[in-house]
């Protein structure tokens, strides 16, 4: 398995199609067609469609984690500012895809959590990793006194991730980033606030 170029092409095309159409609506043949790879190669690299789906998730999670680190662990920027940038990047992405794609992990979480425990576990792990990134950022904000210390950062991280994923869903159905803006605004106005003396 030296030459991974074909495998990577499959994963890239798969990620794109699955992001757009979902997992069940994306056929293997469609993936093969868009990247010009024959079926023999597909089943050389992946044992099944599920195996392929998991590889797509893993690849996306790994790639996206780099973005997340760059945004949320950037010690040159104040923690709350990092969060704002993270939200801004999310909104930009939503515009770029014309409000159709949203978040691959969120999409698959909805579609596959009830269908397969293997998928559910994989997606849940990704979410938990994201939450941990938020926790670090929020801890930094608490250490600086930018936000109150009486709320556990883990609880805040869960709150933020839930809210953001939900806002993405609403943005998709509404075809507008307004719910994302609304969420961010109230979050910074009411939740991520300096402690009152």
Could you say which of a copy of itself, DNA, none residue 33 binds, taking C-beta under 5 to 8 angstroms by partner kind? none
Min separation Cβ 116 and DNA, Å:
12
Q: Is 49 in the site for DNA (CB under 7 A)?
A: yes
Among 12, 16, 34, 50, binds DNA (CB under 7 A): 50
* Positions 112 through 171 that interact with DNA (CB under 7 A): none
Alpha helices in the chain (DSSP H): 5-21, 28-35, 39-45, 49-72, 79-96, 104-112, 117-143, 153-174, 178-186
| Residue 178 to residue 184: CA distance in whole angstroms | 10
Q: Is 6 in the site for DNA (CB under 7 A)?
A: yes
Could you say which of DNA, a copy of itself, none residue 158 binds, taking C-beta under 5 to 8 angstroms by partner kind? a copy of itself
Rg of the chain over all Cα atoms, to the nearest angstrom: 19
| Residue 29 to residue 102: CA distance in whole angstroms | 24
Q: Is 108 in the site for DNA (CB under 7 A)?
A: no
Q: Is 41 in the site for DNA (CB under 7 A)?
A: yes
């Amino acid at each position: 398995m030296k030459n991974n170029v074909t495998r990577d092409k499959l994963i890239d095309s798969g990620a794109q199609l699955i992001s757009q159409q979902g997992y069940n609506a994306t056929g293997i043949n469609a993936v093969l067609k868009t990247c010009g790879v024959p079926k023999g190669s597909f089943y050389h690299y992946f044992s099944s469609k599920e195996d392929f789906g998991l590889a797509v998730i893993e690849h996306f999670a790994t790639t996206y984690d780099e973005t997340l680190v760059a945004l949320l662990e950037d010690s040159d920027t104040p923690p709350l500012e990092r969060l704002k940038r993270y939200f801004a990047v999310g909104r930009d992405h939503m515009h770029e895809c014309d409000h159709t794609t949203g978040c691959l992990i969120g999409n698959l979480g909805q579609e596959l959590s009830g269908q397969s425990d293997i998928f559910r576990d994989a997606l849940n792990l990704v979410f938990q990793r994201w939450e941990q990134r938020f926790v670090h950022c929020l801890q930094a904000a608490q250490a600086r006194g930018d936000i109150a210390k009486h709320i556990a950062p883990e609880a805040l991280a869960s709150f933020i991730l839930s809210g953001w994923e939900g806002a993405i869903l609403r943005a998709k159905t509404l075809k507008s980033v307004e719910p994302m803006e609304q969420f961010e605004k109230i979050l910074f106005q009411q939740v991520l606030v300096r402690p009152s003396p």
